[in-house]
Amino acid sequence: MANGKLAVQRLSDTIAHEFERRILDGALKPGDRLQPERELAAELGVSRPSLREALQKLVSKGLLQSRQGGGTYVTDRLDVGFTDPWHDMLAQHPNIQADLLEFRGMLECEAASLAAQRATEADLLRIGDTFAQVESLFAQGTSPEVLEQQVKADLAFHQAIAEAAHNVMFGHLTASLFRVINDHIDRNLRHLRRQDGDWLKLRDQHRAIWDGIRNRDPAAASAAVRAHIDFVRESMVARARHEERESRARVARRLTKPGLGRELGESDAGVP
């Protein structure tokens, strides 16, 4: 009996290890719902009690979440500890944006280089699909709904490249980073959309990245990402200057507004 229990324990550990591997590889992503227990047991060739025990181990670790009557889902625990504090830090200290962009450049340049070397046919198909989505949305208008979709498509394109690098750290770090800078990317796209020339450059940069990867040219892919990040950095500086000018203009308008003296506490005669 003791040996039988030990065998079951080892099997449940093996099953749990397999699910951890799928989560790390990105085959299972945060929010994904697992197949029904019966289907999973048949797929893995294990008993349902062993599977149930393995899933419970992962629930206790915080990697899976069971919902009453709603199945079992992958949580975002691997990422949430990184992203939660950084959202507030980025909002309170805008200067950090430059550091995040620098880190993003190092991360994505290497990811694109590795993707050009390691991407499977399935990876290339996925990257190609996300690129086509980016192209299609860039050709559309600037309504809030379209811009929101453009941000999502842009992030999906870069995330597909990170996962095609076939290094689990690239995939998870990139996903975490994009959760942090989502608002930053949204503001940059809104700024760039005002200038047709800048918008076309942005479109061409994505195409150059895609061409480098599908042509299996690591140096070209990395260089294209570097050019893209440098362009985004210049855009970020230009946007900051634009916002500063608009802020000054608003202040100037308030200072010349009739009746401002009363708002500032002055008497009708203008004497403090």
Of 32, 42, 108, 110, residue with least CA distance to 76: 32
Q: What is the mean pLDDT of the segment spanning 154-170? A: 92
Q: What is the mean pLDDT of the segment spanning 147-156? A: 87
Q: What pLDDT is stored for residue 86 in this prediction?
A: 63
Q: What pLDDT is stored for residue 246 in this prediction?
A: 72
Q: What pLDDT is stored for residue 131 in this prediction?
A: 96
- For the chain, what are the domain ranges? 2-75, 79-255
The CATH number of 2-75 is: 1.10.10.10
Q: Could you please report the per-residue DSSP string of 144-155?
A: HHHHHHHHHHHH
Most confident segment among 35-39, 68-72, 182-186: 35-39
Q: What pLDDT is stored for residue 156 in this prediction?
A: 92
Q: Looking at the DSSP assignment, which residues form a beta bridge with residue 71?
A: 67
Q: Are 111 and 161 in contact (CB under 8 A)?
A: yes
Q: Take residue 179 and report the two structure tokens written for it.
A: 């959760």
Q: Where are the beta strands (DSSP E) in the chain?
A: 64-67, 71-74
H helices, E strands: number in the chain: 11, 2
Q: What is the pLDDT of residues 23-34, one digit of tens each?
A: 777 778 777 889
List C-alpha distances in Å: 185 to 30, 151, 175, 188.
21, 7, 14, 5
Q: What is the pLDDT of residues 43-99, one digit of tens each?
A: 999 998 889 888 888 888 888 888 776 788 888 666 555 555 566 666 666 667 778
Q: What pLDDT is stored for residue 263 in this prediction?
A: 47
Q: Are 236 and 97 in contact (CB under 8 A)?
A: yes
Q: What pLDDT is stored for residue 5 in this prediction?
A: 47
Q: What is the mean pLDDT of the segment spanning 164-189? A: 81
CA geometry: angle at 269 spanning 268 and 272, to 5°?
A: 90
Q: How far apart, in whole angstroms, are the C-alpha atoms of residue 73 and residue 23?
A: 11
pLDDT over 70 at 1, yes or no: no
Binned at pLDDT 50, 70 and 90, residue 180 comes out as confident
Structural Rg of the chain based on CA atoms = 25
63 SS3 class? coil
Q: What is the mean pLDDT of the segment spanning 156-175? A: 90
Q: What pLDDT is stored for residue 84 in this prediction?
A: 55
Q: How far apart, in whole angstroms, are the C-alpha atoms of residue 142 and residue 47?
A: 53
- Residue 226: CB atoms within 10 A of its CB come to 15
Q: What pLDDT is stored for residue 213 in this prediction?
A: 98
Record the pTM.
0.66
Q: What pLDDT is stored for residue 73 in this prediction?
A: 87
Which amino acid is present at 156? A
Q: Are 90 and 96 in contact (CB under 8 A)?
A: yes
Q: Where are the beta strands (DSSP E) in 24-169?
A: 64-67, 71-74
pLDDT over 50 at 150, yes or no: yes
Q: How far apart, in whole angstroms, are the C-alpha atoms of residue 82 and residue 85?
A: 7
Q: Take residue 131 and report the two structure tokens written for it.
A: 């690129």
Q: Could you please report the per-residue DSSP string of 213-254?
A: HHTT-HHHHHHHHHHHHHHHHHHHHHHHHHHHHHHHHHHHHH
Torsion of CA 101, 105, 107, 111, to 10 degrees: 140
Q: 79-255 falls under which CATH superfamily?
A: GntR ligand-binding domain-like (1.20.120.530)
Q: Which of 4-13, 36-45, 144-153, 172-181 has the least mean pLDDT?
A: 4-13
Q: What pLDDT is stored for residue 179 in this prediction?
A: 77
Q: How far apart, in whole angstroms, are the C-alpha atoms of residue 172 and residue 135?
A: 25
Q: What is the pLDDT of residues 206-250, one digit of tens each?
A: 999 999 999 999 999 999 999 999 998 887 777 667 667 777 777
